[in-house]
Amino acid sequence: MEATIKVEELEKLDIDYDRDRDVLYISFGPPTAADDAELLDSDIIIRYRGERAIGITVPSFSLRFKGKETEH
């Protein structure tokens, strides 16, 4: 699915991390109910409202960086 993201929505980026469930939620603009979603091969979920991407859900967030070094 191809989606659009408006630049002004990126300025209103909302990021929330649920430590108990180890899930990162990213919303473009205020959190909005999705009417569709796409599961990527990486198990990351893109949430949609119509043709517009409204957010990204990253399950097992901390495990994706375990053992990886960051570059400075």
pLDDT in tens, 8-39: 655 678 899 999 999 999 998 877 899 999 99
What is the C-alpha separation between 8 and 21, in angstroms, rounded?
Answer: 30
Q: What is the pLDDT of residue 67?
A: 62
Confidence band of 72 (pLDDT split at 50, 70, 90): very low
Which among 43, 16, 42 has a CA at the least distance from the CA of 27? 16
Q: What is the pLDDT of residue 71?
A: 53
Q: What is the pTM of this model?
A: 0.75
What is the C-alpha separation between 72 and 55, in angstroms, rounded?
Answer: 28
pLDDT in tens, 32-68: 899 999 999 999 999 999 988 899 999 999 998 776 6
Q: Would strands 45-49 and 13-18 be described as parallel, antiparallel, or unpaired? A: unpaired
